[in-house]
């Protein structure tokens, strides 16, 4: 499906979820990075990306993804998600 419409962000996100289920961190990260370059995500994909970075020991990228996710969640009116990411940043990355 993505081959027929490579800019379809819904398909990209769905594909990323499949890579996440399969445990394919490299494809998950690549797909989410592509998705986030094209989509106005409300925060969820940033959290998925941050956790994938954590699992692959890319802590600086994980911190940045959580920060971007916090900001996106705040901008889109998702205070619970923003607070979750803020708490992770504070406890795991010492970011106030």
Domains of the chain: 9-93 (1.25.40.10)
**Model confidence band, residue 84 (pLDDT cutoffs 50, 70, 90):** very high
CA angle (59 as vertex; 54, 62 as ends), nearest 5:
65
- pLDDT score of 2: 53
**Model confidence band, residue 4 (pLDDT cutoffs 50, 70, 90):** low
Q: pLDDT digit string (tens) for 18-77?
A: 999 999 999 999 999 999 999 999 999 999 999 999 999 999 999 999 999 999 999 999
Between 3 and 90, residue with greater pLDDT: 90
Q: Decide if 40 contacts 78 (C-beta within 8 A).
A: no
E strands present in 17-90: none
- pLDDT score of 91: 96
Q: Decide if 45 contacts 76 (C-beta within 8 A).
A: no
* Residue that has been written with the tokens 């923003």 in this structure: 82
């Amino acid at each position: 499906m993505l081959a027929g419409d490579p800019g379809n962000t819904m398909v990209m996100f769905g594909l990323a979820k499949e890579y996440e289920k399969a445990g394919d961190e490299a494809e998950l990260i690549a797909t989410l990075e592509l998705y986030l370059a094209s989509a106005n995500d409300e925060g969820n994909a940033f959290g998925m990306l941050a956790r994938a970075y954590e699992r692959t020991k890319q802590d600086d990228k994980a911190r940045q993804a959580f920060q971007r996710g916090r900001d996106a969640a705040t901008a889109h009116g998702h205070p619970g998600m923003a607070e979750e990411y803020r708490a992770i940043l504070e406890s795991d990355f010492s970011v106030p």
